[in-house]
């Protein structure tokens, strides 16, 4: 063993990850590594397997083979709620919020306490919860809407609310699936500002099509194509890769 | 308002109004026969109350609540039947001291699972635990495997059918299609005369309010909000760190236990228990009570049950063969026109008018009794 020459441990190591749906390999022998405090953006054409990769990491889809190691735990063997507890948070592509609850209640449900049946029954809304909800609500520009029914929010506000729900969870790895899709220009700018603020002290895995947005935030970019990595590196490197230009950026 | 642990002001008023209605007005206005009918109806209100939590809030439609109503009822009936089958009461039988239907079926000794029902304490525990554990097993088997929605409803219906067949088929142990009849005393206290009916009525109303309080606590806890959240965005709840299956199992068990308490009170109030309260038709009727009352309203469940049953009694006396069609039509009408039932009508039409008359229209905070998940929230 090379003592004193240990490589820095990765936060997330995906190795040989494969999932096949009835013989179709949506993700095929995929390996990549995410460091602490890294912002990684996954891009690629439709059907490249981007969302499936996030599904595999958060446990929504079970891998056919391969491993996903996160802080020394193999996520492929954990249940969804255990993966969340380990520190992985996931935002879905379409805003998934609770329409029948208020903005406050939406945020409160993600507060990482009282997650068992008994815990939820005895959960009290104390000052710590209230302060945290207010703090996050201010970050996501919804401070004055806390008592509003979440169903009445605009599309962009719903996206922010879901991001806020993840912030309350305070995950070590935050996975965002197209956070600015369907947003107006001004909302997009505000979201970029929001993301830049919340990515401190955590690693973020983002799927996004908006190249301008990707350039703004990405430390490293992974280009997926047909379930495999086509190219990986800085935005500069990826942008000039002829293979990437051919299958994705050229369009 | 929003932080309340138990009830909002308008809910408290609602509970108080219901209490006055059940404790003061009905006993004063009705004779003992009618009051006993109300007591019988109210046993179904327990089931409807459980369905509000399970179906209304949790979105888990169970078409087999008769199973739990029946299990609770049979547990209670077994105790009462044993007491009614004392050696001196049954001395004309070939084996005295066992229930009459066992004697008719050539059974000569009390089966082992009947023996603990000599004890009232055991019986009360069994009324709660047998259905509770049965619901836990069904719930765990279904929800852990992510069986939900229509499939779950069909399976609960199948369970109701299976249990009916089992009860009818095992005549010697259960009394078969006739059920357990001729229940007489509870610890020596005769449950048949009028004054006993009145006492049982008030006891039942007390239990009903205890269950209403539990339902209120659940609904105002974070657990209640998680149930509502799960109904629409199961995945979001799951990926917020909750085990969705466990919450569904909890809601299903609560509903089962409420139904069982109702069943036990049925055996006491009506004086018999039979498989006709277990099967598919009664189970669906119980869902209709909830739908008519408003599946999101705890108090609506009680009113819905009373209303449908009064209609059933008066209509089925005059047109017995038409009643089931009427009930089906009522269900379709409610679902199409008033998805939130009586409580929805109250919240959408009556309450605003009253508010206008009083000149104090309070803003709804989204969690008042009737406005949850309305198509058009008040603000």
Query: Mind spelling out the 3-state secondary structure of A184-238?
Result: CHHHHHHHHHHHHHHCCCCEEEEECCCHHHHHHHCCEEEEEECCEEEEEECHHHH
pLDDT tens string, chain A, 251 residues long: the values are 455 555 667 899 999 999 998 888 899 999 999 998 889 999 988 888 899 999 999 999 999 999 999 998 899 999 999 999 999 999 998 889 999 999 999 999 999 998 999 999 999 899 999 999 999 999 999 999 999 999 999 998 999 999 999 999 999 999 999 888 888 888 888 888 888 888 778 899 999 888 888 888 888 999 999 889 999 999 889 888 888 888 877 65
* pLDDT at residue number A251: 55
ipTM: 0.89
* pLDDT at residue number A23: 85
d(CA B322, CA B318): 9
Q: A27 exposed, middle or buried (CB, 10 Å; 0-12, 13-18, 19+)?
A: buried
The CATH number fitting domain A12-99+171-249, selected from 1.10.8.100, 3.90.380.10, 3.40.50.970, 3.40.50.300? 3.40.50.300
d(CA A232, CA B44): 64
Residues in B touching A96 (Cβ below 8 Å): 233, 235-236
Identify the band that residue B65 occupies on the pLDDT scale cut at 50, 70 and 90. Answer: very high
* pLDDT at residue number A5: 57
Q: What are phi and psi of A148, to 5 degrees?
A: -85, 150
Are B365 and A147 in contact by the 8 Å Cβ rule? The answer is: yes
B366 found inside a domain: no
Q: What is the mean pLDDT of residues B148-158?
A: 94
pLDDT at residue B367 above 50?
no
B3 found inside a domain: no
Residues of A with CB under 8 A from a CB of B: 58, 60, 79-81, 84-85, 89-90, 92, 96-102, 104-106, 108-110, 112, 114-117, 120-123, 125, 147-149, 151-152, 162, 165, 169
Which element (helix H / strand E) includes B214?
helix B194-220
Q: Which of A92, A120, A133 to mutate to test the interface with B (most CBs of B within 10 A)?
A: A120
Q: What is the mean pLDDT of residues B134-146?
A: 95
Least trusted range by pLDDT, from B80-84, B266-270, B325-329: B325-329
Cross-chain residue pair A100–B247, CB shorter than 8 Å: no
Mean pLDDT across chain B, nearest whole number? Answer: 89
d(CA B216, CA B218): 5
B372 found inside a domain: no
Which element (helix H / strand E) includes B120?
helix B120-143
What are the boundaries of each domain within chain A? 12-99+171-249
d(CA B75, CA B80): 9
d(CA A149, CA B225): 13
Residues in A touching B3 (Cβ below 8 Å): 125
Are B290 and B362 in contact by the 8 Å Cβ rule? The answer is: no
pTM score, two decimals?
0.90
DSSP for A8-36, written as a single string: PPPSEEEEEEEEEETTEEEEEEEEEEE-T
B291 found inside a domain: yes
Residues in A touching B213 (Cβ below 8 Å): none
* pLDDT at residue number B17: 94
pLDDT one-digit tens code per residue, B281-296: 999 999 999 999 999 9
B148 found inside a domain: yes
pLDDT at residue B43 above 80?
yes
B249 found inside a domain: yes
How far B134 CA lies from chain A's nearest CA (Å)?
19
Nearest to B247 among A102, A117, A152 (CB): A117
Q: Which of B236, B250, B376 to mutate to test the interface with A (most CBs of A within 10 A)?
A: B236
Contacts of B97 (CB under 8 A, 6+ apart): B85, B86, B87, B90, B110
With both helix axes pointing from N to C terminus, report the angle between B9-20 and B194-220 in degrees, rounded to the nearest 10: 170
* pLDDT at residue number B375: 35
B371 found inside a domain: no
Cross-chain residue pair B229–A101, CB shorter than 8 Å: yes
A92 → chain B, closest CA residue: B236
Cross-chain residue pair A84–B246, CB shorter than 8 Å: no
d(CA A90, CA A165): 10
Are B292 and B346 in contact by the 8 Å Cβ rule? The answer is: no
How many domains would you assign to chain B?
1
Name the residue range of residue B188's domain: 9-358
Are B194 and B200 in contact by the 8 Å Cβ rule? The answer is: no
pLDDT at residue B374 above 70?
no
Q: What is the mean pLDDT of residues B96-117?
A: 92
């Amino acid at each position: 063993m090379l003592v004193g020459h240990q490589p820095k441990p990765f936060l997330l190591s995906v190795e040989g990850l494969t999932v096949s749906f009835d013989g179709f390999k949506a993700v095929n022998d995929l390996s990549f590594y995410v460091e602490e405090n890294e912002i990684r953006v996954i891009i690629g054409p439709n059907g490249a397997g981007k969302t499936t990769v996030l599904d595999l990491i958060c446990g929504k889809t079970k891998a056919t083979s391969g491993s996903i190691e996160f802080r020394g735990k193999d996520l492929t063997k954990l249940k969804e709620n255990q993966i969340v507890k380990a520190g992985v948070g996931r935002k879905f592509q379409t805003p998934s919020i609770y329409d029948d609850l208020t903005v406050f209640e939406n945020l409160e449900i993600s507060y990482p306490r009282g997650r068992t049946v008994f815990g939820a029954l005895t959960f009290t809304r104390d000052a710590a919860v209230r302060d945290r909800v207010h703090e996050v609500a201010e970050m996501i520009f919804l401070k004055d809407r806390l008592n509003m029914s979440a169903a009445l929010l605009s599309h962009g506000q719903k996206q922010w609310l879901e991001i806020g729900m993840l912030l309350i969870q305070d995950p070590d790895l935050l996975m965002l699936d197209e956070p600015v899709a369907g947003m107006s220009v001004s909302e997009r700018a505000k979201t970029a500002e929001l993301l830049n603020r919340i990515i401190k002290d955590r690693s973020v895995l983002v799927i996004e099509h908006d190249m301008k947005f990707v350039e703004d935030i990405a430390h490293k970019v992974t280009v997926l194509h047909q379930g495999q990595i086509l190219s990986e590196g800085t935005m500069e490197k990826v942008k000039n890769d002829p293979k990437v230009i051919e299958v994705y950026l050229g369009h | 308002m929003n932080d309340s642990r138990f009830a909002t002001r308008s809910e408290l008023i609602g509970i108080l109004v219901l209490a006055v209605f059940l404790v003061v007005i009905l006993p004063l206005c009705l004779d003992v026969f009618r009051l006993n009918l109300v007591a019988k109806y109210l046993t179904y209100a327990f089931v409807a109350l459980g369905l509000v939590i399970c179906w209304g809030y949790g979105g888990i439609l169970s078409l087999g609540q008769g199973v739990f109503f029946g299990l609770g009822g049979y547990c209670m009936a077994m105790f009462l039947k044993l007491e009614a089958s004392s050696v001196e009461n049954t001395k004309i039988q070939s084996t005295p001291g066992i229930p009459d239907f066992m004697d008719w079926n050539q059974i000569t000794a009390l089966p082992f699972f009947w023996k603990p029902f000599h004890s009232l304490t055991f019986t009360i525990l069994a009324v709660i635990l047998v259905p509770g554990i049965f619901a836990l097993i069904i719930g765990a088997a279904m929800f852990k495997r992510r069986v939900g929605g229509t499939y779950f409803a069909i399976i609960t219906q199948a369970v109701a059918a299976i249990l009916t067949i089992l009860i009818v088929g095992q005549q010697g142990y259960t009394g078969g299609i006739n059920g357990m009849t001729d229940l007489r005393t509870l610890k020596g206290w005769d449950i048949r005369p009028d004054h006993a009916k009145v006492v049982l009525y008030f006891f039942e109303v007390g239990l009903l309010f205890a269950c209403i309080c539990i339902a209120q606590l659940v609904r105002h806890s974070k657990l209640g909000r998680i149930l509502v959240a799960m109904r629409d965005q199961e995945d979001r709840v799951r990926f917020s760190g909750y085990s969705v299956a466990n919450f569904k199992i909890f809601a299903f068990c609560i509903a089962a236990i409420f139904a069982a308490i109702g069943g036990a009170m049925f055996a006491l109030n009506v004086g018999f228990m039979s498989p006709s309260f277990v099967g598919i038709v009664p189970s669906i009727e119980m869902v209709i009570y909830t739908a008519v009352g408003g599946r999101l309203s705890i108090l609506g469940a009680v009113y819905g049950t009373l209303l449908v049953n009064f209609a059933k009694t008066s209509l089925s006396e005059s047109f017995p063969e038409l009643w089931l069609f009427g009930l089906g039509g009522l269900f379709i009408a409610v679902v199409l026109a008033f998805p939130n039932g009586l409580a929805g009508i109250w919240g959408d039409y009556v309450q605003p008018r009253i508010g206008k008359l009083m000149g104090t229209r309070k803003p709804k905070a989204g969690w008042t009794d009737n406005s949850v998940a309305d198509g058009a929230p008040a603000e």
